Amino acid sequence: MFTCFKCGMYAQGLKHDLSKFSPSEFIPSVKYFQGFRSPISKEKQVKGYSECWLHHKGRNKHHWEYWTDRIDGHLEIVSLEMPVRYMLESVIDRISASKVYKKEMYTENEPLNFFVNSREYKVMNQKTAEQIRYLLQYLADNGEEKALAYYKSLYKKHKYDRTISF
């Protein structure tokens, strides 16, 4: 939330992940809490799927999985390009999650490394994946202060845009 604020994203910062406080997400989060990774990963391991995650990704637009659907004419589920404001919120979410899970082992390369080595990098919309990779690379190369200032300028300029080009 505070990192969103630093990027000028006040409304999105306040609304970020609010559904976590709903019973469908709060109860499994407590039940499967581990500290070093998301309770969603644990719930998936135990049950083979996560009701918490299905609830969460259906309500929070900063997750690329929200932007997936069946579209006429396509055989497979389509991953749509994320609107700019939610793509930026996703970048901030990744930085914050890396800090939470890595603790004192966190470095500014961590969000980029985690992302490019993930499977989601390969299965999500490729244009969105490239945008996120580019912005996390910018963090790794320039540090957090400069990166957040850059994200803020992108947000101000493109918050109502569906797409962005670098």
The least CB distance from residue 56 to Zn ion, in Å, is: 6
Binding-site string for Zn ion from residue 54 to residue 83, where x marks contact by CB under 5 A and - marks none = ------x-----------------------
Q: How far is the CB of 72 from Zn ion (least distance, A)?
A: 29
Residue nearest to Zn ion (CB): 17
Does residue 3 interact with Zn ion by CB under 5 A?
no
Place of tokens 């390969």: 122
Report d(CA 135, CA 141) in Å as an integer.
Answer: 10
The correct pick among 8, 13, 15, 17 for binding Zn ion (CB under 5 A) is 17
User: Radius of gyration of the chain from Cα atoms?
Assistant: 16
What would the DSSP string read from start to end of 102-160?
Answer: HGGG--TTHHHHHHHTSSHHHHS-HHHHHHHHHHHHHHHHH-HHHHHHHHHHHHHHHTT
User: CB of residue 83 vs Zn ion: minimum separation in angstroms?
Assistant: 16
Query: Can you say whether residue 123 is alpha, beta or left, with left for phi > 0 and alpha for psi between -120 and 50 degrees?
Result: alpha
Q: Interaction with Zn ion in 114-143: which residues (CB under 5 A)?
A: none
Report the nearest approach of Zn ion to the CB of residue 117 (Å): 20
Binding site for Zn ion (CB under 5 A): 17, 60
